[in-house]
Structure 1
Amino acid sequence: MDTILVTGALGQIGSELTPTLRNRYDKVEVVASDLDPDPGVSPPYEPVDVTDRSQIESVVEEYDVDTVFHLAALLSAAGEQNPGRAFEVNVEGLHNVLEVGREYGLNRIVVPSSIAVYGPATPDNPSERTIRTPTTMYGITKVLAENLGTYYHQQYDLDVRGIRLPGIVSHETRPDGGTTDYAVDAFYEAVDEGEYTYFVREDTRLPMVYMSDAIDALIDLAGADESDLRFQCEYNISALSFTASELSDRIEERIGRFDARYEPDERQSIADSWPSTLDDTAARTDWGWSAEYDLDRVVDEMVQNLQRGAE
């Protein structure tokens, strides 16, 4: 990797992946990009709308990009509010990146997928090739993304690879538009207000991962030897699995009184359609995936950092 382009660099993952890449690869230029024309982030930064192929081409040409971490996407709950825009960004945007990758001979494109590719017909603890029956536009677009990546690899020998991310927990940037947002919002509200109303039931259990583990997974997969990979864009990774009430109990242990309420809304049906655990044997075997953070360590890190920030 000589020059990396990160699309969606202002989002929850991109805002932490970009500086991590810059710190880890001091001889590699990392170009951040997103929709905001002037976000005030460290350069190099270029405004890019991934639905406009010419904008992607312009940045790839100017910086001689050879690797892309393609993070630009509309998430699950936000996608249900505007399914047409979700399809445009998540599918047409990826197609533009893949076409630029094919035309300019990029070395590698890393594009995250999601547990949203699964659905009600998927049994719990699914592996990579378990049936995918998504019920959201976000999930549908991610199935298409996985298949597009595999197609471009098979037809054009373009190195496209990715992981299926579960919910991500981070104290740096609050998520916006995901079904698993409660697993982050609960921490913020607990520290700031001492209370939080979940939009899911207390027994809702979903797979999660701490941000630093998610970033390590993306970078480690990007650096893996292609000959070791049996899949392209559908590697499961799994780290944590907990219910909303288990999370509340752990938070209360750290901060004292925490008034947790549960008022499920339309996002509950999305959560119910996803598996509560994932089989990530392939990622562990093929490229050495292993999570560092368990639930107690995640809660400690989240509470300590948010309390420090509130001082």
Structure 2
Amino acid sequence: MWRKCLSSLVASQRQVQPMLRLMHHHHPNQAPATRPPKILITGGLGQLGIECAKLLRSQYGSESVILSDIIKPSQAVLENGPYIFADILDFKGLQKIVVNHRIDWLIHFSALLSAVGEQNVPLAVRVNIEGVHNVIELAKQYKLRIFVPSTIGAFGPDSPRNPTPNVTIQRPRTIYGVSKVHAELIGEYYYHKFGLDFRCLRFPGVISSDPPGGGTTDYAVAVFHEALRHGKYTCYLKPDTRLPMMYIEDCLRALLEFMRAPNEQLKRRVYNVTAMSFTPEELVDKLSKHVPHLHVTYKPDSRQLIADSWPQVFDDSDARRDWHWKHKYDLTNLVDFMVKDVQENYINVENGERQTIKI
């Protein structure tokens, strides 16, 4: 499902594309000046992959970005550019892809999220830790620029929560968080030891119209789907649980700008990025303006313990200083866009005849 609201981001990036491309020619791991970088996205059918591919294809051409996963893709995915099967636990298979397709950048989205990982720790270890070992070693071997996302979940109850600085205590208590700290550290190690062009952003909760995928912050997605369908929602977090968040358009723009930033601008390999922090209660208050009779009840479950150990406010001043990160969406326009997007792209599409809440 292509998101209509990303068109403005694509258009604005096109305007600065020629200038930014000039930046690429100064780094030895970059694609030659004669062609755009060839990019492989792993775990491409998750929340970020399809939209990331769409944005990168708008910059570098459809054939330059290869989406991959172990899931059978929809016809829409196949029609929008190259898609291949790639198992991140199969190192030789990954080698074959990098060599055959002359890959320059690897964007590694494959991961089990926080709540799902807690239900299947052995699988989370394999996907989130062994998988990272494979792609990091692959990037070293073939001199790729590699991006691995991290998360607010990489912090724990011993970390300062308001605000959480870029460098501080990290003692997470989920396998998701532990695996992300591991990814950050091994990526930095390969940078210092082998000169690997490793780049990592710690994302907050990312909000998009895609149905929730098992993250602790996904209440902020689920509430839109449930409110617009049924006018009610049962939240698994307490009403005053403050967490950092980011609209998907800002998230993808941050990724693109970070990947394009000249190496000499980067003072570190891992950066916090964020846009806003809010509580379920504050989100529901804004959403109630669109769904006047919205009824929300709060029944905290095991995800509350996870949220209570995470940052409340993220300090991303290093990213704003070093590579000039700026967010565009605050809570008000986030809600406006999400209501419109979920209504148009999901509810109206699923059942054109069904009566939907007027917005």
- TM-score (normalizing by structure 2): 0.84
Could you tell me how far 1:2 is from its partner in structure 2? 2.0
Consecutive unaligned residues in structure 1, runs of 5 or more? none
Indicate the SS of the match to 2:289.
helix
* Separation in structure 1 between the aligned mates of residue 137 and residue 125 of structure 2, nearest angstrom: 17
Q: 1:242-253 residue pairs with structure 2 within 5 A?
A: 242-253=278-289
Q: How many pairs does the alignment contain?
A: 308
* Separation in structure 2 between the aligned mates of residue 39 and residue 100 of structure 1, nearest angstrom: 28
Contact 1:33 1:45 in 2 (8 A): yes
Partner of 1:94: 132
Per-residue deviation, residues 218-267 of structure 1 (Å, max 9, x unmatched) = 111100011111111x2001211011011111111112110111000000
Partner of 2:147: 110
Partner of 1:54: 92
Is the counterpart of residue 73 in structure 1 residue 111 in structure 2? yes
Contact 1:115 1:166 in 2 (8 A): yes
Partner of 1:266: 302
Is the counterpart of residue 159 in structure 1 residue 194 in structure 2? no
Indicate the SS of the match to 2:267.
coil
Could you tell me how far 1:308 is from its partner in structure 2? 2.2
* Separation in structure 1 between the aligned mates of residue 222 and residue 62 of structure 2, nearest angstrom: 36
Q: Which is worse superposed, 50-59 or 113-122?
A: 50-59
Indicate the SS of the match to 1:208.
strand
Per-residue deviation, residues 145-168 of structure 1 (Å, max 9, x unmatched) = 000110111111110001000001
Partner of 1:32: 67
4+ aligned runs moved over 6 Å, structure 1: none
Contact 2:50 2:67 in 1 (8 A): no
* Separation in structure 2 between the aligned mates of residue 114 and residue 193 of structure 1, nearest angstrom: 31
Could you tell me how far 1:52 is from its partner in structure 2? 1.2
Indicate the SS of the match to 2:206.
strand
Is the counterpart of residue 236 in structure 1 residue 272 in structure 2? yes
Q: 1:124-135 residue pairs with structure 2 within 5 A?
A: 124=161, 125-135=163-173
Consecutive unaligned residues in structure 2, runs of 5 or more? 1-35, 349-359
Give the letter aligned to residue 70 of structure 2. Answer: L
Could you tell me how far 1:24 is from its partner in structure 2? 2.2
**Identity among equivalent pairs (%):** 44
* Separation in structure 2 between the aligned mates of residue 302 and residue 228 of structure 1, nearest angstrom: 34
Contact 1:2 1:28 in 2 (8 A): no
Could you tell me how far 1:57 is from its partner in structure 2? 1.0
